[in-house]
Amino acid sequence: MPKLIIDQRSIEVPAGTKVIAAAEKLGIMIPRFCYHPGLGSFGACRMCAVKFLEGPVKGIEMSCMEDARDGMVVSTTDPEAMEFRQYVIEWLMMHHPLDCPVCDEGGHCLLQDETVSGGHGRRRYLGHKRTYHDQYLGVFVQHEMNRCIHCWRCRNFYQGFAGYRDYGAMQIGNRMYFGRYEDGPLESPFAGNIIDLCPTGVLTDKPCRFVGRRWDFERAPSLCLHCSLGCNTTGSARYRQMWRQEGRFNEMVNGYFICDRGRYGFAYESHPERPRRARVAGLEVAWAEAIQTAAEKLSQIAATAGPAAVACLGSARSSLETQATLQRFCRALGWSEPRYFSVPSQERQVKAAIARLEAPLAVSLREIETADFVLVVGADPVNEAPMLALALRQAWLKGGAVAVLDPRPVFLPFEFEHLPLAPGDLEAALEALTAGAGGTDLLAGGSPWPLLPKIAALGRRLTQTQRPVIVCGTGIVRESTPGLAADLVLRLREAGLNAGLFYLLPGANAFGAGLLSPAGEGLTPLMEDLETGAVKALMVVENDPFWDYPDRGRLVRALDKLELLVALDYLPSPTVQRADIVFPTLTLFERNHSSFVNQEGRLQLAPPVHLGGMPMAQISPEKHPPRTFLSHIPGGEPRTPGEILAELAAAMPAPVTLPGDDLWDWLSRKNPVFANIVSLFESPPGARLIPEAVPAGTFSPAAAPAAAERPPDYLELLLVDLIFGTEELASYSKHIQPAEEPPRLRMHPADAAKLRLSSGDRVALRLLGGTLEVDLQVAENMAPGVLVLPRHRQLNWRLAPDYRVMVAYGDIVKVEA
């Protein structure tokens, strides 16, 4: 641990720390442009020059390029260093345009700050200013190359950190250009980060173009709800509307960066059709009247048909507060327990994963970066949990290896081993790996499975590592797969490896929903209850079965049998449009604090960004604030589901009081993992809602590993996620919609050859509920025997009876143009 002195203060830092980072630990921010703690040193801008007075290095040196070493005495305020930095600023400003007033970076521009603090004011160079042509970089990033100071941060992130190649540096010296070879949208789904990284206004946020200055925004830490990873963001709102999300540093979760789905998915919050008033039978009514009507009708149905006739459906995207209040509400009124998933298989998968995630096994996204081998089972990181792909790349950059067992044509921005196994074979592969880790010779039995030698080789590599991590998805796998992944981790730990487990879940708070769902098999699936008529009234809290239920026909028939459908939501979803009574709710950006549990059990709190209400741009035809004084916020009627449920409970004929302030106490009495919730809030990134117990492995005796039997002439249809277009909240975002790629059905060349189909063909897929037409793409790198179809919002995929459907060859026909 080298010990050095910076500005007369001594500090001891781990070996390998740069002087600029050591100074930052002391609270001294050395000016910099190219250095970024998430990207490391580069030495391009010469801005972080300091004077080394004593020690192994002497004189003016770049603090981002020098490792902290024993005996160093550094002065950041030495006149010589200050003068050097003043010259650097003057050089950088030589070609910088004077367009700060029309630049969106103005106000939070690092170059602006350093110019002012360096005292530079007048350009002494008499030559012409260098100019560049700008490029169209897609719908997210605005390019204004004249402003560039050649710090390389964008390229270092785009090619180095994220691993995409279509954006980079061109030309040399003073003519250097950062852009693409030709105009076109940036291919990386992480491209938005170069906006945050750009120290000046070359790359700015396009959806937030010309909206406001940093000092005018209402800003607060927030969370991303667009996958289960729970990345931390900073939200910016102005005039009652969210405008921008940026990555916020969280050491254990996302680091510094976020993906574009998280960055631009927020606009569901200001969707023009978002419900803002309470509605009864399609008509807007006074809030109290809607509460009264709902309470009367619900209690009437509960009184006549029994309390089991009223069902509540929560969701995996609600906050933990909402989920818990819903359960408390149902218990207080004596109704049956709420469900949180409309698709029963999802609920079972989530519960299977949560049941096996214990503190010693669980790893965070950050810990994956230090793994030396990551085995991804049944997950497509870029599409299901994009930041996981970047974490895997960091592991790969540090010398780790990544192997993916997944039927889909998985793409990752680095070299990895892909074994395209059918979903049914994933379990056999996991069992084989577990057996192999236990010492069984997999190839001894002479199994006819052609992929077994590869799996056996993978198993041998796995056992030779130190810190392997098993990543297990829950999107397309069987319900018992998460348990098998946990078994493999336990077996590896028995073998002396420091193995970790990382699940992906469907929904930002699927973990919370799983914790609150009844244990075991629990309730009969909601659809069956609706179909038999056992449930006559349904209250849907921030859920939209029309979004994720695979069988649209069955869902409509079941909902038609209902006497009453009450919806609480902030999305203009089909469920809300169909509901008899609608209560508008608040998004996580508005007025209240909400907590979410990410897929590793980490409880995170999201404070409100603004107070809510109708965006200014939507309230007056002149698009300016009204010229009258109001005593209320227009469109400010929505409340949290917790408040609405408390009002409903109080309005019942036999009123029940739902106290709002002891929710955490109530939760900790219900489930022991909630018991240390207080300490979670005291150390936000540090603790998780998972049991501390050291689990014992229960290994089933290794059966002979073999591929699962598949009926001939059938293809298994997999309904999968895409980065844009399949996630519910982001699909309502007007910023994401133009970035969506047209959905395609993907198929293995062998299957395509049998069906005489080729890429680009229009294919009709006959499913139980009707025929679906979609373009075909033949993909080499996927498993034979499966069809991969995105659950895209533009696609009527809800014709399948289930998430797991077998499609006969005869049901896939080419549509002649």
φ/ψ of 147, rounded to 5, equals: -80, -5
Considering the rule CB under 8 A, would residue 122 count as an interface residue with another protein?
A: no
Q: Give all strands of the β-sheet with 232-237 in edge-to-edge order.
A: 218-223, 232-237, 242-247
Radius of gyration of the chain (CA): 28
Among 16, 27, 79, 101, binds another protein (CB under 8 A): 101
**816 forms part of the interface with another protein (CB under 8 A):** no
Nearer to another protein, 627 or 756 (CB): 627
Stretch binding another protein (CB under 8 A), from 46-54, 94-102, 265-273, 443-451: 94-102
Per the CB < 8 A criterion, the answer to whether 115 and 169 are in contact is no
The answer to whether 386 and 392 are in contact (CB under 8 A) is: no
- Taking CB under 8 A as the rule, does residue 631 contact another protein? no
Q: CB within 8 A of 39, min separation 6: which ones?
A: 153, 156, 157, 160, 161, 197
Beta bridge partners of 766: 771
The number of C-alpha atoms within 13 Å of 195 and in the hemisphere containing its C-beta is: 30
210 is an interface residue for another protein by CB under 8 A: yes
Contact 525, 551 (CB under 8 A): no
Verify binding: residue 124, another protein, rule CB under 8 A.
Answer: no
- Residue of the chain from 144, 347, 431, 529 that contacts another protein (CB under 8 A): 144
Q: What angle do CA 414, 420, 423 make, to 5 degrees?
A: 125
From 207-215, 225-233, 364-372, 760-768, span contacting another protein (CB under 8 A): 207-215
- Does 616 help bind another protein (rule: CB under 8 A)? yes
* CA-based nearest residue to 376, from 360, 365, 361, 392: 392
Check if the beta carbon of residue 172 is closer than 8 Å to that of residue 150.
Answer: no
Tell which one of 212, 221, 306, 749 touches another protein (CB under 8 A). Answer: 212
At residue 6, what are phi and psi to the nearest 5 degrees?
Answer: -120, 120
Comparing CB distances to another protein, the nearer of 213 and 557 is: 213
Based on the shown chain and the rule CB under 8 A, indicate whether residue 152 belongs to the binding site for another protein. Answer: no
Q: What minimum distance in Å lies between the beta carbon of 239 and another protein?
A: 7
Rounded to whole angstroms, how far apart are CA atoms 185 and 177?
A: 17
Please say which residue, 124 or 215, places its beta carbon nearer to another protein. Answer: 215
* Three-class DSSP labels, 702-730: CCCCCCCCCCCCEEEEEEECCCCCCCHHH
CB of 688 to another protein, least distance (A): 42
102 binds another protein (CB under 8 A): yes
239 binds another protein (CB under 8 A): yes
Residue nearer to another protein on the CB measure, 9 or 624: 624
Q: DSSP 3-state assignment of 745? A: strand
Per rule CB under 8 A, count of chain residues that contact another protein: 38
> Which of the ranges 101-109, 312-320, 518-526, 738-746 carries the binding residues for another protein, by CB under 8 A?
101-109
Question: Of 23-31, 377-385, 623-631, 759-767, which part binds another protein (CB under 8 A)?
Answer: 623-631
If binding is defined by CB under 8 A, does position 121 make contact with another protein? no
In the list 9, 25, 58, 133, the residue contacting another protein (rule: CB under 8 A) is 133
| Binding residue for another protein, selected from 11, 139, 169, 211, defined by CB under 8 A | 211
Q: Residue 284, Cβ neighbours under 10 Å: how many? A: 13
Q: In this complex, which beta carbon is closest to another protein, that of residue 144 or of residue 751?
A: 144
- The residue from 122, 446, 520, 623 that contacts another protein (CB under 8 A) is 623
Piece of 171-179, 637-645, 664-672, 714-722 that binds another protein (CB under 8 A): 171-179
The single residue listed with the structure tokens 């521009």 is 109
| DSSP codes of every residue in 556-575 | HHHHHT-SEEEEEESS--HH
Nearer to another protein, 148 or 559 (CB): 148
For residue 506, count other CB atoms closer than 10 A to its CB: 24
* Cβ-Cβ contacts under 8 Å for 734 (sequence gap 6 or more): 267, 271
Tell which positions 450-509 bind another protein, by CB under 8 A: none
Secondary structure class of 110 (helix, strand, coil): helix
- Residues forming contacts to another protein in the complex (CB under 8 A) are 97-102, 106-107, 127-134, 144, 146, 170-171, 175, 177, 209-213, 215-216, 239, 616-617, 622-625, 627-628
